[in-house]
Amino acid sequence: MIFAVVCLTALSLPAGMVIFMQSRTPSPLPRTGRPRSAAADAAILEATRAALVDLGWSKLTMGDVATRAGVAKTTLYRRWAGKNELVVDAVAVLFDELELPDNGSLAADIGGVVLQFAALLNRPETKTALMAVVAESTRDEPLRERIRTSIVDRQKRLVLEGRARAHARGELPLEADPAAAARTADLIFDVVAGAVVHRTLVSAEPVDEEWVDRFTTLLLGGLASVQA
């Protein structure tokens, strides 16, 4: 029995793999028996976000989430290994809202995405949860992987798409070496995401039009240097 094997494996492993078979990845779901309630899944994630807003990270408890979602605490533990994994899933969805607007120029496109990202980070459930799970992930490699695949890597599409558009417009030269191009994309991603996060969460200053203008100017000017 495949499922039995999976369960035994999961039980003998610390966290991580248990989640693998759940919501994020299409899993070898058992064909028989009572299926898991999709409504419960949605209610739990929604309740988690609400609890994050009200309580923050450290005071959020599994029991409280269960009560808010109208499910039993045991149901939570049947699906998620703990607070970390639950919160990652609860927040990951929010990042899919990000889109690359077509504002006509590379600078305007970047500015648009930066403003969206900043707005997302200003939502209390996002800002509270994101840093917390990143902090936990420094001691928990599976959790970091989960964050990377569920949140971070998905957003790199924005960088790639923006660059493709810029190429089409003739705003950026095409990098000959694909490896170098990939490294540049990673660099841009770290700079953009890092700067906005730091500005918002550490410096606690607003990401307004004026800051975005200065930032995009810096980024584009620097990009020309890097690709030269």
Partner DNA sequence: AGCTTTCGCTACGACTCGTAGCGTAACTCT
Partner DNA sequence: AGAGTTACGCTACGAGTCGTAGCGAAAGCT
Q: Which residues bind its own copies (CB under 8 A)?
A: 56-58, 84, 124, 127-132, 134-140, 144, 147-148, 152, 183-184, 186-187, 189-191, 193-199, 201-205, 211, 214-215, 217-226
Of 48, 51, 52, 79, the one binding DNA (CB under 7 A) is 79
Pick the closer one to DNA by CB: 14 or 173: 14
Pick the closer one to its own copies by CB: 43 or 181: 181
16 binds DNA (CB under 7 A): no
Pick the closer one to its own copies by CB: 120 or 132: 132
- Report what 61 binds from its own copies, DNA, none; CB cut-off 5-8 Å by kind: DNA
Q: What is the spatial distance between Cα 114 and Cα 208, in angstroms, rounded to a whole number? A: 10
Exposure letters 95-106 (e unless 16+ CB within 10 A, then b): beeeebeeeeeb
Phi, psi of 177 (to 5 degrees): -75, 115
3 in helix, strand or coil?
Answer: helix
Exposure letters 164-188 (e unless 16+ CB within 10 A, then b): ebbeeeeebeebeeeeeeeebbeeb
Query: Around Cβ 213, how many Cβ atoms within 10 Å?
Result: 12
- Report what 79 binds from DNA, its own copies, none; CB cut-off 5-8 Å by kind: DNA
- Report what 35 binds from its own copies, DNA, none; CB cut-off 5-8 Å by kind: DNA
Query: Segment 142-201, which members bind DNA (CB under 7 A)?
Result: none
Q: What would the two tokens of residue 188 be?
A: 């841009």
87 binds DNA (CB under 7 A): no
Of 37, 122, 149, 227, the one binding DNA (CB under 7 A) is 37
Residues in the chain: 228
- Report what 87 binds from its own copies, DNA, none; CB cut-off 5-8 Å by kind: none
Q: What is the spatial distance between Cα 129 and Cα 218, in angstroms, rounded to a whole number? A: 29
